[in-house]
Amino acid sequence: SLVPTVFRGPFWETDPPLCAPTPCVHGTCAEVSGSYSCTCDAGWEGDKCDVNINDCTPNICGTNGKCVDLVNNFTCVCATGYEGRFCENVIDNCTPNPCPDSVTCYNGIGTYVCGDCKDAPCLNGGTCTASVDGYSCACPAGALGTNCECTAQVGCNNDGVCDVGVGEDC
């Protein structure tokens, strides 16, 4: 069946279609009673479907991430040491075990510590290396001793030398 064309105005013009071109930016237009209505695509809202719905609800990424809004979705950018959809998992830096031989690995946030180095026994900027027998300290210049506990700044009188066996005693 033919739909009659409605002519109006002094020049017998037709009413332009309300949905052509579509006013709905991210949606479908439907003419309704001399007006139009937009049905928005997922993730969009507003009279013309031109407003992105913010999918970053408060604290969705917890305290370990920052939410980035996408269209009908979001993503969490995790802080160092965290992973997961909501940054809820601490990354296991001990799998596979990076420590030598069979030394126990202790996981930390964004790092790990091997064996007896977990208690940070090296002093004065010394670097701890774990071993099956325990640990050893690599001391910086000016520090001596098993744990780098002896330094040139001890202040021994009369050109005294720090006695490593005694600690910081001169």
State pLDDT tens for residues 15-37.
Answer: 678 898 889 999 999 998 888 99
Q: What is the pTM of this model?
A: 0.58
Distances from the Cα of 68 to the Cα of 72, 103, 108, angstroms = 12, 40, 26
pLDDT band at 13 (very low <50, low <70, confident <90, very high): low
96 preceded by a cis bond (ω within 30 of 0): yes
Tokens of 13: 């013009």
Q: Which domains are assigned to the chain?
A: 7-52 (2.10.25.10), 55-91 (2.10.25.10), 92-170 (2.10.25.10)
Whether the predicted pLDDT of 2 surpasses 70: no
pLDDT band at 69 (very low <50, low <70, confident <90, very high): very high
pLDDT band at 134 (very low <50, low <70, confident <90, very high): confident
